[in-house]
Structure 1
Amino acid sequence: PFGEPSELAPLAWDFHDAAYAANARPVFYSVGADLIPLWLEMGLGLVKLGEEAVVPLPGFSLQGPERKRLRTTHNRALRDGLSFEVLQPPFAPGFMEELRAISESWLATKAGAEKGFSVGAFDPDVLSQAPIAVVRHEGRTVAFANLWLTETKTSATIDLMRHAENAPGGLMEFLFTELLLHFAAEGYDEFSLGNAPLSGLEVRRGAALSTRLGALVYRHGQQFYNFEGLRSFKEKFDPDWRPIYVAVPPRANLLSIAADVVALIGGGARRGDDARPAGVSR
C-alpha cells in the first residue's frame, strides 16, 4: 500500500476487525519487517515467506570490475538490436492491442489462465494509468512491464512483465538492467526486483515447522517451480535481500491459509463453494 503513513495502521485494524466480525481470520500476505510492531500488537504471528530483492540505486552503474559480467551481457544485447524506452500515458491508439498480443503469446506458454491478487494481470484500464517500459528488437516491441512509482522517488518496481514467445535470449536481464540504469538516473533511492518465494529459509534445529518445511520445498521442489533459478537471476544485480512474511493468527492452519492464497492468486474461490473464505489482505 502507499499513501499517508498515518492511515495504514487504522486500515489494517479495520480489516482485522471485519475479518473476525465475518467469522473469518485476518491474514496479511507478503508483508515486510517494518510493520512487525503492528502485527505483534494484533496478536499475529509471522511466517517467513521468502525474501525481497531490492537494489540501492545511488551510484548504480555498469562500470567497474564487479559489473563486468552484467556489462558484457548488456552490450551484447545492444549489439543484437535490443532497445529500451519508458512510455508515458496517454498511449498511442493501438498500443494496448500490441501489448495484448505479447501477453497472450506469453500466457500460451504457461499453465493455467490469467492470475491475480499478488500477481499482475493484463488489464488495459490499469495499464493505461501508469508508465510502461518496453523493449524492442530491431524496432518490434517484444517485451513490456508496467511501472509502480510515486513522486517521492523513494522506490520503484514493476507489476506485470511479459515478453513475446520468440523474443531474443537475454531479454529479461537487459530489461532489468535498463530499468536500474533509468531509475538511478532519475534519482530514485531503490528498485525492487520482487520476491524470491521460500528464499532465505534454513533447516535448523529448533526452527519453526513452517520454516523447515519451506526450506525443504525450496531445495527439493524444483520439479514444481524453479525457486533457486529465480533467486540466482535476481542475484546478478547485487540486491539487498529483505525478509518477507505472512502475518497469521495464533494456531492458524497454515495449509488452509496457503490454499486460500493459491485460490486468490488463481482467480478466487469457485462460485457455489460452501466454505467461507478467509480474510486475506496484501
Structure 2
Amino acid sequence: MPLSLLSESDELPLSWTRTALATPRVQRVRLPLSGFTWLAYATVPANGHFSAFHHEHDQHARLLLRGCPAGLAQRLARAGWETVRVGIEGVIDLTGESLHRRTVRKMARAAARFGSVHEIPWSPTAVARLRWLACEARHGQRPQLRYLFRTTFEPETRLFVFIDRDGDWQGAVLLTQPSPTAAVTELMLRRPHAPAGVMEAIFATAGHQLRSEGCQTLSLNEAPFRHLEPHLRPLEWLITLAGRQMAAVYDADGLYRFKAKFAPYWRPVYLCARPRLPLLALVDLFTVSGCLELAASGFNRRQAA
C-alpha cells in the first residue's frame, strides 16, 4: 500500500502535523526484534504532497503507525494493513460548551488567583525551560515514555504555560495543529505543588485562543487501553490487559477522568501495521517506547517497600 494514502487524506495519525516545510521531517524508529519501521510522528508539507517520503517507505515491507483515527484506519485496512484498537481519543468541540462547563470554569477561576496563562513563542530558552519543567513535573523522575507523543517544543508546535506571580512555570500544554481547524494536545505537564486548576486554566485559555483563530476542535489525545465497545479481538484484549498491568506507574484511569472533565466526544484510536501485526512488534513497541522501563520501576519500588 503506498503511503500516498496519507498525503491524500485529510486525517493524519496523532502527533503528525502539517507546516510550510518543503520536505517532510519524520521520526523513524527501527524495531529490532520484528524488523518493522515505526513512523512515530512526522511534520509534512501543508500542500499534502510528499512523494519522496512515501516512495522511500513504499520500499519497506513492514511499517507501523499508531494513533490512527477510524477513517484512516479503514483506508489502510482496505489497502491490506492490519488495524487494532488500542484506546480512545477525546476531542473537544471548540464551538460548543465544553470549555464553559461549570467544573472547568470553577477550577480555572481558582488558579487565576495565583497567576495567568500565556502562549510562549518558540525560542531556545523556551525549549530549555520546558525541559526543566518536565523534570520538575509530577513523575518527572520516573522513566519517561518515548515516541508516543511529542515532548519537545519545536517551531511547528504551540506552547501554553501557566506562570505564577513570581514568574515560575507551574504547568504547560504543548500542541500541534495539523490543520487550521484542528489542534492536538501533545504534552501536559504540572508541577506537584502547582495551584489547583492550573491545567483547566491552560486548556480554557488555549481553547479560546484557538477558537478565535477559526480552529474548531482540540484533541486531548489518546486515553489508552479504553474502548467504546466491550467486545475486543484477542490482540486488542492482550494489549489492553498488558497496559492495565502498568496501573501502579501509569495512571491511565486518572488521565481518562481528567480528559472526561471537558465532556469531549470519544472516538477509537488504532495501531496499524503492514502487512500484519506480530507479537514481536508489540514487544518492540513496549520496549522502545519506554513502557518496559516504566513498568520495571514500579515493580522495583514495590519490592523496596
Q: TM-score, normalised by structure 2?
A: 0.69
**Structure 1: which 5+ runs fail to align?**
268-282
Which has the higher relative contact order, 1 or 2, with Cα contacts under 8 A spaced 6 or more apart? 1
Out of 145, 153, 157, the position equivalent to 2:173 is: 145
Equivalent pairs, count = 248
Out of 83, 98, 103, the position equivalent to 2:129 is: 98
User: For residues 74 and 90 of structure 2, what CA distance do their matches in structure 1 show?
Assistant: 23
Q: Deviations over 1:41-87 (max 9, x none)?
A: 43112110111111111144655xxx2222211211213x1310112
What are the within-5 Å matches in structure 2 for residues 166-245 of structure 1?
A: 166-200=193-227, 202-204=229-231, 207-216=232-241, 222-245=247-270
After superposing the two structures, state which structure 1 stretch, 29-38 or 41-50, moved more. Answer: 29-38
Identify the structure with the greater strand proportion.
Answer: 2
1:75 and 2:109 equivalent?
yes
Q: Deviations over 1:179-237 (max 9, x none)?
A: 22222233211111110111116543xx4112233454566653353222211110111
User: Percent of counterpart pairs with the same letter?
Assistant: 25
Amino acid of the structure 2 residue aligned with 1:86: E
What is the match of residue 54 of structure 1?
91
User: For residues 30 and 82 of structure 1, what CA distance do their matches in structure 2 show?
Assistant: 34
Q: Please say which structure displays the higher CA radius of gyration.
A: 1
Using the TM superposition, give the Cα deviation of residue 241 of structure 1 relative to its aligned residue in structure 2, in angstroms. Answer: 0.8
Partner secondary structure for residue 222 of structure 1: coil
Out of 238, 242, 247, the position equivalent to 2:272 is: 247
- Aligned in 2, Cα 1:201/1:217: closer, same or farther, shift over 3 Å? farther
Out of 143, 162, 165, the position equivalent to 1:112 is: 143
Using the TM superposition, give the Cα deviation of residue 128 of structure 1 relative to its aligned residue in structure 2, in angstroms. Answer: 4.9
Partner secondary structure for residue 168 of structure 1: coil
**Structure 2: which 5+ runs fail to align?**
1-15, 19-44, 292-305
Partner secondary structure for residue 267 of structure 2: strand
Partner secondary structure for residue 7 of structure 1: coil
- Is the Cα contact below 8 Å between 1:218 and 1:228 reproduced in 2? no
Cα RMSD for the two superposed structures: 3.1
Using the TM superposition, give the Cα deviation of residue 174 of structure 1 relative to its aligned residue in structure 2, in angstroms. Answer: 2.3
User: For residues 168 and 48 of structure 2, what CA distance do their matches in structure 1 show?
Assistant: 45
- Aligned in 2, Cα 1:263/1:216: closer, same or farther, shift over 3 Å? closer
User: For residues 257 and 36 of structure 1, what CA distance do their matches in structure 2 show?
Assistant: 18
What is the match of residue 18 of structure 1?
59
- Is the Cα contact below 8 Å between 1:43 and 1:249 reproduced in 2? yes
